[in-house]
Amino acid sequence: MTKLLLGPGPSNVSPRVLEAMARPLVGHLDPAFLAVMDEVQGRLRGLFGTQSELTLPLSATGSAGMEACLCNLLEPGDDVVVGVAGVFGERMCDVASRIGARVTRVETEWGTALDPAAMAAAVARVRPRVVAFVHAETSTGVCQPVAAIAARARQQGALVVLDCVTSLGGIPVTLDAWGVDAAYSATQKCLSCPPGLSPVSFGPRALERVRGRSRPVQSWYLDVTLLAGYYGAERVYHHTAPISMVLALAEALRIVDEEGMEARERRHREAAAALLEALAPLGFEPLVATEHRLPMLTTVRLPEAVVRRGEAALRRELLQRHGIEVGGGLGKLAGAVWRIGLMGENARPACVTRLLAALRDLL
Amino acid sequence: MTKLLLGPGPSNVSPRVLEAMARPLVGHLDPAFLAVMDEVQGRLRGLFGTQSELTLPLSATGSAGMEACLCNLLEPGDDVVVGVAGVFGERMCDVASRIGARVTRVETEWGTALDPAAMAAAVARVRPRVVAFVHAETSTGVCQPVAAIAARARQQGALVVLDCVTSLGGIPVTLDAWGVDAAYSATQKCLSCPPGLSPVSFGPRALERVRGRSRPVQSWYLDVTLLAGYYGAERVYHHTAPISMVLALAEALRIVDEEGMEARERRHREAAAALLEALAPLGFEPLVATEHRLPMLTTVRLPEAVVRRGEAALRRELLQRHGIEVGGGLGKLAGAVWRIGLMGENARPACVTRLLAALRDLL
């Protein structure tokens, strides 16, 4: 039985993407492969809404994309303001402090949106080199107000770093219009490609900052000036790209572009609405207020019946008896919510129907 | 036409491995996937010749494995002695100095083996925290004398880090017997799996060192104490593992174990001997002395006819007209040698025959 992956990622992938994974290998400097890499970079620029040359699939998962953005832009002693509204904002603080940056946290209750005024006040006070936050917080299901936060950060001369792990390919991402300088995503969410790559994009202000560093980037593997040699026109050997994963991502991006982001966003929003409508009679209630709710990841408070039964046990039964995976709560929300992803290929009414039937059977 | 990959990696992969890549996804915390992960970790321990619990496929390519070994064991100001005999020894110096370590280089001419006495003398003088070098130097085709270097490094209390990127799965690797404390490899060489993962192993002395650090590991993504939470018994979420790549690696490791390392090493040695015998009449001569020659990667000096014609142009013709990839020289050896890999699935007489026929046609 093919499992239905309705957790916070990975999502199910199209047979076309699986077929691409299974193609015979070619060399990582083979002209045929470099043409696919060019195509991937071009399609990623389109999806990220950016003209930035240095847009590429990093050879590691989304968390490495976070680290790449922060470690290229920050040096020890630099200030960074981080919006903390869930697990992934917390992770940004951890990553930045390991780099030696001074971290100023702007927090909000999990399940709510960051306050742009509070972010702006911290930025005005600290005058940080970098302001970093998460577009679609995968631990809470909240969509953060990117444009408002980014605009004020830039007014103060800060570089803006944005986590687009769960948003890219599900809702519009427009880095250039927002004024975001560096962003990262992951393949296994709304792009419906297996996990293993992290699409990243560095804009001109970010690159200028990297070139002006007083010491080398701490990571050889993630140094964008080295990556630029391979992913730019020269194609200088840096590391061996994960060839099959790049072929799969190319196919996944073709599928996204064939559908178009407008239709794709609508499909995600309709699926999320259908999900909440279906779950309401069972007593599941949305954690997040309507205006901040993400479509591709819905966090629901658990009804008494589920809590009594043990939510983890029920998720196990869902997986074992019905082949459906949903996500538990992370961090502060562990045991209190489920995270149900309708991402990419799975943002369809049929997935909601199958989940609902399984839940009715179990409850 | 399926390309025949006779460069320094990737090698061609078995249809069984491609089939594994194309299996429908499961969740990264699904018990079915965790069972595969357990299997992969167990098989990797066998291949690395170690009992070390913390043996796992890192979610990035071989170069990230190098960085993981060095950044967990080194802190700013620590001394490291690096054996430099090619591009990958050079890379170790770059990675270590970015971490802030003081690097002492012990060099040897490219194409020759490191002198264990010179390494020991440097270790005795510097008393470094870490001694690092490459088992099978992919840029030169030399097999380095691991046991002799590791034993003397340990006598002086140093931790030993070994690059097994090109050796693992082709010739015996015996970390515990050698006294190697941390090692890394890659999937796309003698394991004949697509690139994208880096098998790594950290022994008890290495872990003790990590626990005794005065500051956190600079990289969140590569911190082995965090990785231990996911790859150990607790299975705590850290990052999303590249599921399809792990399924592929599991299949590739099953193939290795079905054959057995003794037969596999013999197959690699026989293929390399056949290659040199076939190339000699065309004027290609081995760069490396017999006793230090690697079987899976053969470096050959180019005959006058190839140099006149332009070695890069000839490699392009080989690829375009015959679908065969061979590697050019790297660094100091660029333009002077070819690197011909007969790795994993490709360590077979039929590959030599096909290459020879193509070269005869072109020359």
Does domain A4-9+260-362 fall under CATH 1.10.3720.10? My reply is: no
Nearest CA of chain B to the CA of A74: how many Å?
12
Subunit contact B5:A21, Cβ cutoff 8 A = no
pLDDT recorded at residue B279? 98
**How many CA within 13 A on the CB side of residue B362?**
24
Amino acid at site A16: R
Cα separations in angstroms, A337 against A115, B106, B143, B237: 23, 57, 55, 17
Q: Out of B26, B91, B239, whose CB is closest to A61?
A: B239
Q: Is the pLDDT of residue A64 over 90?
A: yes
Subunit contact A5:B26, Cβ cutoff 8 A = yes
Nearest CA of chain B to the CA of A309: how many Å?
21
B94 contacts on A by Cβ (under 8 Å): 220
The ranges assigned to domains in chain B are: 4-9+261-362, 15-257
Q: Is A193 on the interface with B (CB under 8 A)?
A: no
Cβ–Cβ under 8 Å, residues A167 and A190: yes
Q: What's the average model confidence in pLDDT over A311-340?
A: 96
Residue B302 per-residue DSSP state: P
Residue B10 per-residue DSSP state: P
Q: What's the average model confidence in pLDDT over B91-106?
A: 98
As beta bridge partners, residue A105 has A82
Beta strand B297-301 pairing with B324-328: unpaired
B341 φ, ψ (degrees, to nearest 5): -100, 130
pLDDT recorded at residue A268? 98
Subunit contact B27:A7, Cβ cutoff 8 A = yes
CA–CA separation, B81 and B88 (whole Å): 14
Q: Encode pLDDT of B211-225 as tens digits.
A: 999 999 999 999 999
CA–CA separation, A166 and A347 (whole Å): 13
Cβ–Cβ under 8 Å, residues A85 and A112: yes
Nearest CA of chain A to the CA of B94: how many Å?
7
Q: Out of B28, B194, B243, whose CB is closest to A244?
A: B194
A311: pLDDT confidence band, cut at 50, 70 and 90? very high
pLDDT recorded at residue A234? 86
Q: Out of A5, A217, A240, whose CB is closest to B10?
A: A240
What ipTM was assigned to the predicted interfaces of this complex? 0.97
By 3-state DSSP, what share of chain B in percent is helix, strand and coil, each rounded to 5? 45, 15, 35
In terms of Cβ atoms closer than 10 Å to its own Cβ (0-12, 13-18, 19+), residue A276 is middle
CA–CA separation, A113 and A104 (whole Å): 18
Classify B103 as helix, strand or coil: strand
Q: Which helix (H) or strand (E) holds A314?
A: helix A311-322
Q: Which helix (H) or strand (E) holds A131?
A: strand A130-134
Q: Which helix (H) or strand (E) holds A272?
A: helix A261-279
B234: pLDDT confidence band, cut at 50, 70 and 90? confident
B1: pLDDT confidence band, cut at 50, 70 and 90? confident
A208: pLDDT confidence band, cut at 50, 70 and 90? very high
Q: Which residues lie closer than 8 Å to A191 by C-beta, 6 or more apart?
A: A168, A169, A185, A199, A249, A252, A253, A256, A344
What fold does the segment set B15-257 form as a domain?
Answer: Aspartate Aminotransferase; domain 2 (3.40.640)
In which residue are the tokens 């003794």 written? Answer: B262
CA–CA separation, B197 and B242 (whole Å): 8
Q: How many CB pairs under 8 A join A and B?
A: 185
Task: List the structure tokens of A258.
Answer: 């064939």
**Cis peptide preceding B10, ω within 30 of 0:** yes
Exposure string of B226-257, with b = 16+ CB inside 10 Å and e = fewer, is bbbebbeeeeeebbbbbbbbbbbbbbbbbbbe
Q: Is the pLDDT of residue B248 over 90?
A: yes
Subunit contact B63:A220, Cβ cutoff 8 A = yes
Subunit contact B3:A22, Cβ cutoff 8 A = no
B3 contacts on A by Cβ (under 8 Å): 24-27, 30
Subunit contact A220:B10, Cβ cutoff 8 A = no
Q: Is B62 on the interface with A (CB under 8 A)?
A: yes
As beta bridge partners, residue A182 has A161, A202
Distance of CA A125 to the CA centre of its chain: 29
In which residue are the tokens 């709560």 written? Answer: A329
pLDDT recorded at residue A68? 98
Beta strand B324-328 pairing with B130-134: unpaired
B233: pLDDT confidence band, cut at 50, 70 and 90? confident
Q: State the distance between the two ends of chain B, measured CA to CA, in whole angstroms.
A: 22
Q: Is B25 on the interface with A (CB under 8 A)?
A: yes
In which residue are the tokens 């099953």 written? Answer: B254
pLDDT recorded at residue A233? 84
In terms of Cβ atoms closer than 10 Å to its own Cβ (0-12, 13-18, 19+), residue A211 is exposed
Q: Out of A3, A18, A196, whose CB is closest to B26?
A: A3
Cβ–Cβ under 8 Å, residues A68 and A184: yes
CA–CA separation, B237 and A330 (whole Å): 9
In which residue are the tokens 């705590």 written? Answer: B236
Q: What's the average model confidence in pLDDT over B295-321?
A: 96
Per DSSP, the residues of A220-242 read: TTT-HHHHHHHHSTT----S---
Cβ–Cβ under 8 Å, residues A200 and A228: no
Cα separations in angstroms, B24 against A21, A170, A213, B30, B121: 11, 21, 44, 13, 54
Beta strand A79-84 pairing with A130-134: parallel
Q: Is A127 on the interface with B (CB under 8 A)?
A: no
CA–CA separation, B112 and A167 (whole Å): 51
Q: Which residues lie closer than 8 Å to B249 by C-beta, 6 or more apart?
A: B40, B57, B187, B191, B193, B197, B199
Residue B45 per-residue DSSP state: H
Nearest CA of chain A to the CA of B222: how many Å?
9
Residue A118: Cβ within 10 Å count: 14
In which residue are the tokens 């190098």 written? Answer: B66
Question: What part of B 305-344 touches A (C-beta under 8 Å)?
Answer: 319, 325, 330
Beta strand B136-137 pairing with B159-163: unpaired
CA–CA separation, B84 and B106 (whole Å): 6
CA–CA separation, B53 and A236 (whole Å): 37
Subunit contact B244:A21, Cβ cutoff 8 A = yes
B10 contacts on A by Cβ (under 8 Å): 25, 27-28, 240, 243
Q: Encode pLDDT of A242-300 as tens digits.
A: 999 999 999 999 999 999 999 999 999 999 999 999 999 999 999 999 999 999 999 99
Q: What's the average model confidence in pLDDT over B269-273?
A: 98
Task: List the structure tokens of B357.
Answer: 């026929």
Amino acid at site B314: L
Residue A282 per-residue DSSP state: G
Task: List the structure tokens of A7.
Answer: 């957790």
Cα separations in angstroms, A239 against A28, A231, B65, B243: 9, 11, 11, 21
- Smallest CA-to-CA distance from B256 within B341, B348, B349, B192 is with B192
Cβ–Cβ under 8 Å, residues B111 and B143: no
Subunit contact B10:A23, Cβ cutoff 8 A = no
Give this prediction's pTM.
0.98
Beta strand B297-301 pairing with A337-341: unpaired
CA–CA separation, B86 and B69 (whole Å): 19
As beta bridge partners, residue A104 has A81
Distance of CA B194 to the CA centre of its chain: 14
Subunit contact B12:A3, Cβ cutoff 8 A = no
Q: What's the average model confidence in pLDDT over A81-107?
A: 98
B7: pLDDT confidence band, cut at 50, 70 and 90? very high
Measured between CA atoms, the residue of chain B closest to residue A95 is B220
B235: pLDDT confidence band, cut at 50, 70 and 90? confident
Interface test with B, best of A6, A218, A240 (most B CBs within 10 A): A240
Q: Which residues lie closer than 8 Å to A220 by C-beta, 6 or more apart?
A: A226, B63, B67, B91, B94, B95, B98
3-state secondary structure B243-269: HHHHHHHHHHHHHHHHHCHHHHHHHHH
CA-based torsion, A46, A52, A58, A62: positive or negative: negative
Architecture of the B4-9+261-362 domain: Alpha-Beta Complex (3.90)
Cβ–Cβ under 8 Å, residues A292 and A112: yes
Q: Out of A3, A27, A67, whose CB is closest to B7?
A: A27
Q: State the distance between the two ends of chain A, measured CA to CA, in whole angstroms.
A: 22
Residue A334 per-residue DSSP state: T
Q: Encode pLDDT of A108-123 as tens digits.
A: 999 999 999 999 999 9
Q: Encode pLDDT of A19-39 as tens digits.
A: 999 999 999 999 999 999 999
B319: pLDDT confidence band, cut at 50, 70 and 90? very high
